[in-house]
Structure 1
């Protein structure tokens, strides 16, 4: 009898739209179509249009031009009318002594920037995160961010002036304080990569702290309180709480950094290089500028650009796989 009453109650509830406890059962809302969702969020998609247009025009449409790496491209004939030559330009590229020279310089400068430059924003972010005087912290952050907004045309002139053997502040200090003879930093093949790497760090290290500081702000403060109660000092808290908290951010930025290992900024190199240091300062970007634009050898330099892209893709995929094997979350 009791079982029959329970069944009857459930049946009445189903008919009347109420649950056995008296709650009204809401009917499932009809699913919204994709177009309705787009219309409801139209303002966000409108703001997204300029970004999509940028990547479409400057990133995706130029991919069609990669076909000229397999042709003898001539302005008069156009891309489709130029003669197909297959891998001719790749054979010329890999058989060129200049190519291997600029490839070596490019890789060395990127390795220097990766080894010495990549950890600097992390260290700066850790130090800024420990500052408790908000006003002083904002001043320091602004001073670190300023070089990022200065073009290399200006910043390169500042670097050259600072390192000048006659009037540069660095050589004056070395001479007056340490008694060292003036050093021609920008004309010395041994010192030029050092100046290049340090100037890159000076310009971008402060800006690179933004993502790390954002990641640190999401760490639960109770973890630090528990660590202090257990007697952990600042270094222990940084090692066991802060660094693990930003580990995923470090991994993603490392993967993205590996994608540009085959590229060196043209503006910085042109602003700092001179004929005395071309043996270490001539890189792929300057080589493409000289051979491709000035000598109008477009097919040859397009083959070089395609080679850069393929190697960059391989590096990104490989490092992402390694990061996943280490238990971290990569780009995919």
Structure 2
């Protein structure tokens, strides 16, 4: 039995070598992204040890004093901890609840439209905003919502004769501006994967349903929705696993002194602690980033486990 298993392993090894030799050009193309992944994703993970040390530039990573979990305790006991956690979870959950189902609904409605020309036009128009850079996007938000010269301020003054309230300085409105501007920017792009899944649906199913007298809504409900369910499950798992990673660039650009209590999130706080302020506490910022990654990983595992139990599909 052992001899047979060793023979099977040897045969599999020969087969693998033959495959690599026959497609060596493809494997050669993989070397560059593989090198990038190792250099910029795996090698820097050794620096996570800074989270457990009192990092000193002169002493280096390995020569710095070991302090254990003191950096984590410092973060948990700081007055900023409840603020940044509340803001991060509020914005993340709000964004997940809004931005996850809207592309699915948009893809289903677009797929149900009869005219192919109108489909392409609508898809292109909604797809373009995704390519607007974060800096330009925030600039557009400021221009539109400016309470004096922007579209919001001009319309408010036109209809009321008064100066519009400064909604960009209202911290309670920050999450709404952030999330709904993201809906406008990303819906068309996020819907592409669902449109592709709907394009693969066997048309004979729709034809059979039409013969049986099913309406367009019934076909959408019992054919289209089940067909994109596995794709939606995987996208939801990835979204839940990334729930703590709110895009800090956009948040950072939208922040001001008046909305800071509602806009300060884990990623922006980490950036300010580590680089942007006079504190430059690399150990604390690394500890905060590590805590954030552990939470994301835990949520990813939980979401994947629940998805496999409920729908039978997962990412691993």
Aligned match for 1:243, one of 225, 233, 249: 225
Residue in 1 aligned with 2:22? Answer: 40
Structure 1: which 4+ aligned runs deviate by more than 6 Å? 178-181
Judge conservation of contact 2:170–2:259 (CA < 8 Å) in 1. yes
Q: CA deviation at 1:167?
A: 2.2
TM-score (norm 1): 0.86
Q: Does 1:322 align with 2:306?
A: yes
Judge conservation of contact 1:251–1:328 (CA < 8 Å) in 2. no
Secondary structure of 1:312 counterpart: helix
1:1-332 to 2 correspondence within 5 Å?
32-174=14-156, 176=158, 182-294=164-276, 295-332=279-316
- For 2:179 and 2:42, the matched residues in 1 are separated by 31
Deviations 1:57-95 (A, max 9, x none): 222122111111011111111111111111111111111
Deviations 1:269-315 (A, max 9, x none): 12211111001111111111111113211110111111111111110
Secondary structure of 2:172 counterpart: coil
Q: Give the unaligned 5+ runs of structure 1.
A: 1-28
Judge conservation of contact 1:258–1:316 (CA < 8 Å) in 2. yes
Higher helix share: 2
- For 2:157 and 2:227, the matched residues in 1 are separated by 45
- For 1:65 and 1:116, the matched residues in 2 are separated by 36
Judge conservation of contact 1:145–1:206 (CA < 8 Å) in 2. yes
Secondary structure of 2:56 counterpart: coil
Residue in 2 aligned with 1:14? Answer: none
Judge conservation of contact 1:219–1:242 (CA < 8 Å) in 2. yes
Judge conservation of contact 1:148–1:203 (CA < 8 Å) in 2. yes
RMSD: 2.0
User: Given the superposition, is the C-alpha separation of residues 33 and 293 from structure 1 closer, same or farther in structure 2, using an over 3 Å criterion?
Assistant: same
- For 2:298 and 2:13, the matched residues in 1 are separated by 42
Deviations 1:211-263 (A, max 9, x none): 11111111111111111112221211111111110000000000000111111
- For 1:233 and 1:50, the matched residues in 2 are separated by 52
**Which shifted more, 122-131 or 273-282?**
122-131
Secondary structure of 1:246 counterpart: helix
User: Given the superposition, is the C-alpha separation of residues 249 and 68 from structure 1 closer, same or farther in structure 2, using an over 3 Å criterion?
Assistant: same
Q: CA deviation at 1:264?
A: 1.3
User: Given the superposition, is the C-alpha separation of residues 117 and 171 from structure 1 closer, same or farther in structure 2, using an over 3 Å criterion?
Assistant: farther
Judge conservation of contact 1:291–1:301 (CA < 8 Å) in 2. yes
Judge conservation of contact 1:163–1:169 (CA < 8 Å) in 2. yes
Judge conservation of contact 2:266–2:292 (CA < 8 Å) in 1. no
- For 1:179 and 1:233, the matched residues in 2 are separated by 51
Q: CA deviation at 1:131?
A: 2.9
Residue in 2 aligned with 1:15? Answer: none
Judge conservation of contact 1:185–1:195 (CA < 8 Å) in 2. no
The number of equivalent residue pairs is 304
TM-score (norm 2): 0.91
- For 1:50 and 1:57, the matched residues in 2 are separated by 11
Structure with bigger gyration radius: 1
User: Given the superposition, is the C-alpha separation of residues 145 and 84 from structure 1 closer, same or farther in structure 2, using an over 3 Å criterion?
Assistant: same
Q: Give the unaligned 5+ runs of structure 2.
A: 1-10
Secondary structure of 1:73 counterpart: strand
